Amino acid sequence: MNVGTVRGDRLRPYAAEGLRLAVVVAAYYVSAKLGLEQQLVRGQVTPFWPPTGIALFALLLWGLRMWPAIALGAFLVNVWLGPWIGPVLAIVAGNTLAPVCAYLLLRRVGFRPALDRLQDALALVFLGALGGMLISATVGTGVLVADGALSADDFWPTWSVWWTGDAMGVLVITPLLLVAREARWPRDVPVLRWVEAVAMLGGTAAVTAVATHTLINLLFLVVPFLIWAAFRFQLAVAAPCVLIASAIAISAGATGSGPFSDHDLLAKMVILQAFNGTVSLTALLLSAVITERNRTLHEIEGVCDRLTEALARLAPGETFDAWPSSRSEGHDHRGYGGS
C-alpha cells in the first residue's frame, strides 16, 4: 500500500465532514433568502423561517458537530441585514442556540427521528418548535430593541413574528426532511392510490387558498384533508400537505388578506400561529398514532405466526379443530366426577 492511498484514506472522513458542513451552510443561506421574501419587520423578521427546520434536521442527523455550519449560515444571512456587527453577532448566537437547545431537549426525552411514536410528535411540537424557538425570538428582538433599531412598543409584535417564523420552520420543514430521508419509491402501488394522494395535495392547496382569501373564517376546512392524509398515508403525504397549507397561510398573513385583514401585526401572528400549529399538530399526532397502531398490529401478527409454528411442532399432523374441548368428552376435567 503506497503512501498516497493511506493519506487518502485518512483524509476521506474529513472531506465527508467538510462536505456536510458546506451543505448545511448552503441550505441555511438559500432557505433564508426564500423566507425573507415574506419579511414583515425591518426586512429581516419573517413569519416563516425555514433555516431553523434545516438546522434542527442537521443536528438530529449528524449531531452537535453541525453547530459551526449553523452559526456560519446565520452570520452570512444576517451580516447583510445589520444593524451593525455587534447586534449581528448576538442575533447569530440566538439563531444558533435555539436549534441546539431544541436538539438537546429532544435528545433528553429520547426523541426518535422516525417520528413513529406519539411522544416523538409531541416532543417535536412542544420542545423542538414552540419551546426551543423562544430563545432566538427573545434574543433577536431584545437585541434590536436594545440597539435602538426598534422601539420598545414594537417588542411584542416583532417577537411574535420572530417566534412564529422560527417555530413554523421546525414544524413544517423538519418533519418533511425526516420523512424524505427515509422515503423509498413505492412499488406495485395501484393507480387509484396515486390519484388519492394527488387529490389530497391538490385539495389541501385549493381549500387553503379559498379559506385564506375570503373574509369568512373557513380555515378549519383544511383540517379534514390533513386527517385524511394522516390516516391513509401518514407523514409521507401529511407532511407535504402541512407545507402547502402553511405556505399559503403565511403568504396570506403577510399580505393581510382574508381572515388576516383588519388586524394588527400581533393579532395576525396569533391567528397564523394558531392555524399553522393546528395543522402541524394534527398531521404529526395522527400520523404517529396510526404508525404506532400499524406497528403494533404487525408485531401481534408476528407473535401469532410464531405461536402457530410452535404449536405445529409440538403436535405435528393435528389441527385446532381436532383438539377436544372441555365438554366434548362428556366429563369434567377438574379431576372429579359430577354433573
Q: What is the pLDDT of residue 107?
A: 95
Dist. CA 320–CA 317, nearest whole Å: 10
This prediction has a pTM of 0.81
Residue among 268, 35, 64, 6 at smallest CA distance from 173: 35
Rounded average pLDDT over 175-186: 83
Please determine, for residue 43, whether its predicted confidence score (pLDDT) is greater than 70.
no
Dist. CA 304–CA 316, nearest whole Å: 17
Type of residue at 179: V
Q: What is the pLDDT of residue 336?
A: 39
Query: What is the average pLDDT score of the chain?
Result: 85
Q: Are 94 and 146 in contact (CB under 8 A)?
A: no
Rounded average pLDDT over 66-81: 92
Higher pLDDT residue, 316 or 101? Answer: 101
The CA dihedral of 275, 276, 277, 279, to the nearest 10 degrees, is 90
Please determine, for residue 75, whether its predicted confidence score (pLDDT) is greater than 50.
yes
Rounded average pLDDT over 272-278: 85
Q: What is the pLDDT of residue 338?
A: 43
Q: Are 258 and 212 in contact (CB under 8 A)?
A: yes
User: What are the tens digits of pLDDT across the range 204-216?
Assistant: 999 999 998 887 7
Residue 113 has phi, psi (to 5 degrees) of -60, -15
Higher pLDDT residue, 279 or 3? Answer: 279
Which CA distances in Å does 258 have to 9, 95, 152? 59, 32, 29
Q: What is the pLDDT of residue 331?
A: 46
pLDDT confidence band for 100 (50 / 70 / 90) = very high
Please determine, for residue 326, whether its predicted confidence score (pLDDT) is greater than 60.
no
